[in-house]
Amino acid sequence: MDGLLGPQDDLLSIASFHARDVDALCQDVASIIFPSAVHTPSEATISAVSVKLLQIVRDIEARLQGATPESITGPLLARSGFLREPDIVDFALARVAEDNLIARLGGGFSEFAVELLDHADESVAHAAQALLAADSLQLRAQGRSYLTLPPELLYKVCWRIVAALEVLSGSRSDEVINKARLLISSYDEAHTAPASARKIAHFIGNEAKVSLSNPHYAGIHLFVAQLSADLNIGHDHILRMIDFESAFPMMVLLAADGVPKDEALQTMIALRGQILLPREAVLFESEYVHIIREMAREQLNKWSAARLAFLSFCKT
């Protein structure tokens, strides 16, 4: 009997092995076409997003009415659904992706930005100084998480917190309102890391593109700023594509920018080495050179348009 069943067992084993390969391929394709339907956020991602949002709320509260051990308005804003609005969640997910990428690079330090402090172009030198300061604040300082918000989100979050404070206290506070106005009016987006990196990528010239395309040397903000400028894709969108569950969006991103295969491989290893799956490595090895640059750019434009339409449609 064992002799008769042996071949069948072998066939079943082979079939099972290939079935797993087919399932993996389907998962990759499905993650590209229907990402939200296939990849639900992990517990770690949900936790990281919650921490980001509550930290921002708590830091703004501290500016408006003094520091507290825990967020006063956070639970109310969470119950109201405000902290689940798409543009706010999208921002937090991009910050989580940014943290992941910085960690894989070994920190947020940009050697290239330090060298640019002595650049002949004053605009570049000032932008490099702002970028290094923003990275320092983001990575080390406490109570300044709101400095990463774009102006429209800062305005939105700030006034929702003011409204929540009024609901909880049962009264209107002119002092809190005035502090909110001062916080918003004193905010300068030019001093954020993405804005400073965009300015450097714009003014630095084509001769420095090699430096900007090296994430270890340039740092994640300058690396992403260069891709954003070349491909006309949002900074946060690129962060999320690089850190996406599947490596395929990053392959499309690099192919659209015309990155040679060897250089693309080094970039993939630098930014996804810890999470790059064997089948993704095989897919890269066999298919990267066959990705047509114009088609890759067209695909990126479709993804970007779909994201912008979704965020615009869901704005309150």
Return the domain boundaries, the chain: 41-84+151-191
Residues of the chain with pLDDT under 70: 1-41, 108, 137-142, 313-316
pLDDT computed for residue 7 by the predictor: 47
d(CA 130, CA 142): 18
pLDDT computed for residue 13 by the predictor: 55
pLDDT computed for residue 37 by the predictor: 42
pLDDT computed for residue 33 by the predictor: 45
Closest C-alpha among 313, 306, 312 to residue 36: 306
pLDDT in tens, 34-80: 444 445 667 888 888 998 999 999 999 999 988 777 889 999 999 99
pLDDT in tens, 164-200: 999 999 999 999 999 999 999 999 888 889 999 999 9
pLDDT computed for residue 221 by the predictor: 95
27 CB burial (10 A radius; 0-12, 13-18, 19+): middle
Q: Indicate if the alpha-carbon torsion angle 92, 96, 102, 106 is positive or negative.
A: positive
pLDDT computed for residue 276 by the predictor: 87
301 CB burial (10 A radius; 0-12, 13-18, 19+): middle
Helices 193-203 and 235-242 pack at an angle, to 10 degrees, of: 100
pLDDT computed for residue 2 by the predictor: 42
d(CA 162, CA 171): 11
CA atoms within 13 A on the CB side of 35: 13
pLDDT computed for residue 43 by the predictor: 81
pLDDT computed for residue 8 by the predictor: 47
- b/e map 275-293, b = 16+ CB within 10 Å: eeeeebeebbeeebeebee
